[in-house]
């Protein structure tokens, strides 16, 4: 299969030809169940995905899912972990590096109240505004807002609000 070899070569360079990702993943996993028929015209696929949907590079893990909102043209890199006890929003045109952890969940600091798995779980909202770039292996804690246009350096632990276009790094 020349197309698969070509796709693998392009993928090694970071390219993702549309329409081939699912077939290649199924080939790698040995999944023999039939795929729905492909469109003969690639423009038909483009109508379905008009470049406004977020792009997600799996795997990702979202705790609840109901409190997680992602804007248009956002790239979510692999190994994203989201604890969405409260609302977690990621704006439009946001770029994320791999291994991003967003922790909207909190627990009481007093061990008598915390009581392990018997204690309460609380949370605070996390907001990542439009046009933010977040480097790899970043941790964002509960209650944080990262302002529009900010850059968060790789390996950062974000513990407080970062105002819009806080450049070069939001630490």
Active site residues: 107
- 61 near 82, Cβ under 8 Å? yes
φ, ψ of residue 70 in degrees (nearest 5): -130, 135
> Which residue has tokens 């970043």?
138
Rounded to the nearest 10 degrees, the angle between the axes of helix 2-12 and helix 21-29 is 100
Joined together, the tokens standing for residue 81 give: 């972990």
SS3 of residue 75 by DSSP: strand
């Amino acid at each position: 299969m020349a197309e698969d070899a070509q796709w693998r070569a392009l993928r090694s360079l970071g390219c993702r030809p549309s329409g081939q990702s699912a077939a290649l993943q199924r080939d790698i996993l040995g999944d023999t169940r039939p795929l729905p028929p492909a469109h003969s015209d690639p423009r038909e696929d483009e109508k379905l995905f008009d470049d406004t949907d977020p792009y997600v590079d799996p795997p990702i893990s979202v705790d609840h899912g109901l409190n997680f909102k992602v804007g248009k043209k956002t790239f979510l890199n692999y190994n994203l972990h989201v604890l969405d006890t409260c609302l977690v929003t990621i704006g439009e045109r946001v770029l994320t590096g791999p291994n991003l952890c967003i922790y909207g969940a909190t627990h009481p600091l007093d061990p008598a109240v915390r009581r392990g798995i018997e204690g309460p779980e609380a949370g605070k909202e996390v907001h990542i505004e439009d046009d933010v770039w977040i480097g790899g292996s970043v941790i964002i804690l509960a209650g944080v807002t990262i302002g529009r246009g900010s850059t968060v350096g790789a390996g950062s632990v974000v513990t407080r609000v970062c105002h819009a276009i806080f450049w070069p790094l939001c630490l």
